[in-house]
Structures are given as C-alpha cells and as structure tokens.
C-alpha cells in the first residue's frame, strides 16, 4: 500500500476518486475521527457555498406548487407562501443542510454495519463505517460541480443525472423512482461496496450486491412514499 495514502488524509481523499481500494485498505488498518470529520467538513463547505444560489430557486418552485395546489384553500396557500418568504433570509437554511448531511452519514453508517456484520458476516466497527460513508460522500462534491451550474443555467432545481431525464410525466411512480436512481448516487454505491467489502474482508462483488439491494429497496420505498405526500 502506498505509505502516503495510508498516512495522509489528503491522500485518502484524492484516492477515493481514483483508487478507492487504497483509501479503504488504509481505513482497515486504522481509522480515526479525522477520517470522518475532514471529508464531512469539505462536503458541508460545498453545500454552504451553493445554498444561497440553489435554495431561492427551490423555494420559488415550492411556492408555485402551492399556488397550483387543489388541496389547499386560498387562506392556507397565503399562510404557506408567507412562511416560505420568511425562510428565504433565515439562518436556518444554512444550518439545515449541514445537519442533514451529518444525520445522513450516521444513518448510512448504521445501515453499513447491518450489511457488513449481518448480511456479509464480517466484523465492521461503527467508526470505520462512518469513515467509509464520509469518504464515499465526497462524490457529492463532484455532483454539485455538475448540477449547480446546470441548475443556475436553467433556473430550476429539476435537474436530473439519471434515467428520469428521459421521462416527461413527473407525476408517475416510475419518474419518482428514476429520480432516485442518480448516476452520482450509484457511484457512491460502488465506492461504499468497495469499502465495506475490504473492511469486512469479503469479495467486492458480494458486497456490491448487498449494498445495491439495500439502495434499491430504499429507492422503491421513497418513490412510493413521495407519491403519497402531495401539496
């Protein structure tokens, strides 16, 4: 193993994109809190930079959906739109993003413990699972670099990097499913599979199918639930 990758946080971060197995072999030897905190800080910083550009568009589109809703009265629409307008300059918008990223990391790491220790029969520690999730989440930086310019150019957050781009009717279950089948998320699934396979000392293809199956179940459930939540 490359000694620099083994010892350097920067080396592990760069290797995540080009040679993820080197990063995760290093984590198998030793994983510290810096392996969790540093990647998350980078992701949070990118999120904070994009927030003032993307969030106003998201709120405006939410207002349009409220205005077109047939399930809300005019009074309810007015209250909802006023609430959204009050959020535009709220500091809470800058807090919610980082909090969500941290919570997502905690939850995904817990799922990886289930996959690594129960489905694969390995011995994966929770701290190592957190580190795997944090490094894999660095793909979000690449996703932002691609999606944010497209969002700003098109002035809409309805930008898709998956099979949803080929569908026109956004009210169907298939569309909602395809929006979750994002190419960058799939990239993370592959990287997580490599990581959990190495740490659990199992073949990568076996780890991939276990992680992929859990991700697919998640996508199917979310697509179904989102269809029930309509304004």
Tell me the chain's radius of gyration from C-alpha atoms. 20
Q: Which two tokens stand for residue 36?
A: 């969790």
Q: Are 210 and 119 in contact (CB under 8 A)?
A: yes
pLDDT of residue 14: 93
- For residue 4, what pLDDT band results from cuts at 50, 70 and 90? very low
From 49, 179, 221, 199, select the one nearest 133 (Cα to Cα). Answer: 199
pLDDT of residue 2: 45
| Distance set, CA 171 to CA 3, 40, 158 (Å) | 52, 34, 13
Proportion of the chain above pLDDT 90, given as a percent = 64
Q: Which two tokens stand for residue 31?
A: 């994983």
pLDDT at position 3 over 50: no
The model's pLDDT over 46-96, given as tens digits with 9 standing for 90+, comes to 999 998 899 889 888 888 888 887 778 888 888 888 888 877 777 887 888
- For residue 1, what pLDDT band results from cuts at 50, 70 and 90? very low
Q: What angle do CA 9, 13, 14 make, to 5 degrees?
A: 120
Mean per-residue pLDDT, 177-193:
95
How many beta carbons lie within 10 A of that of residue 69, not counting itself? 14
Mean per-residue pLDDT, 18-45:
93
Q: Is 68 left (phi over 0), alpha (psi -120 to 50) or beta?
A: alpha
DSSP 158-220: ---SSGGGG---TTSHHHHHHHHS-HHHHHHHHHHHHHHHHHHT--HHHHHHHHHHHHHHHHH
Q: Are 212 and 189 in contact (CB under 8 A)?
A: yes
For the chain, the structural domain boundaries read 3-228
Average pLDDT score, the chain: 89
Q: Is 121 left (phi over 0), alpha (psi -120 to 50) or beta?
A: left
What's the whole-model pTM score? 0.89
* Separation between Cα atoms, residue 84 and residue 57, nearest integer Å: 12
pLDDT at position 34 over 70: yes
pLDDT of residue 188: 97
**DSSP-H helix ranges across 20-138:** 20-29, 34-68, 74-87, 92-113, 126-136
| Distance set, CA 199 to CA 76, 193, 195 (Å) | 52, 10, 6
pLDDT at position 207 over 80: yes
pLDDT of residue 119: 95
Proportion of the chain above pLDDT 70, given as a percent = 95
């Amino acid at each position: 193993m490359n000694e620099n990758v083994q010892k350097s946080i920067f080396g592990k971060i760069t290797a995540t994109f080009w040679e993820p197995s080197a990063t995760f072999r290093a984590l198998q030897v030793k994983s510290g809190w810096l392996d969790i905190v540093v990647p998350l800080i980078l992701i949070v910083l990118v999120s904070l930079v994009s927030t003032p550009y993307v969030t106003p568009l998201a709120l405006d589109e939410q207002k349009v959906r409220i205005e077109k809703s047939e399930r809300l009265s005019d009074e309810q629409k007015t209250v909802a739109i006023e609430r959204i307008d009050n959020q535009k300059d709220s500091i809470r918008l800058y807090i919610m993003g980082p909090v969500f990223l941290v919570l997502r990391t905690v939850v995904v790491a817990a799922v990886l413990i289930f996959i690594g220790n129960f489905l694969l029969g390995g011995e994966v520690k929770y701290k190592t699972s957190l580190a795997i999730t944090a490094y894999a989440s660095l793909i979000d930086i690449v996703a932002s670099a691609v999606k944010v310019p497209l969002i700003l150019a098109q002035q809409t957050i309805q930008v898709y990097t998956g099979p949803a781009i080929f569908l026109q009717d956004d009210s169907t279950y298939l569309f909602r499913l395809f929006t979750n089948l994002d190419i960058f998320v799939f990239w993370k699934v592959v990287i997580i599979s490599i990581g959990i396979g190495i740490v659990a000392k199992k073949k990568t293809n076996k780890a991939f199918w276990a992680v992929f199956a859990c991700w697919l179940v998640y996508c199917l459930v979310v697509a179904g639930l989102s269809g029930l939540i309509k304004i």
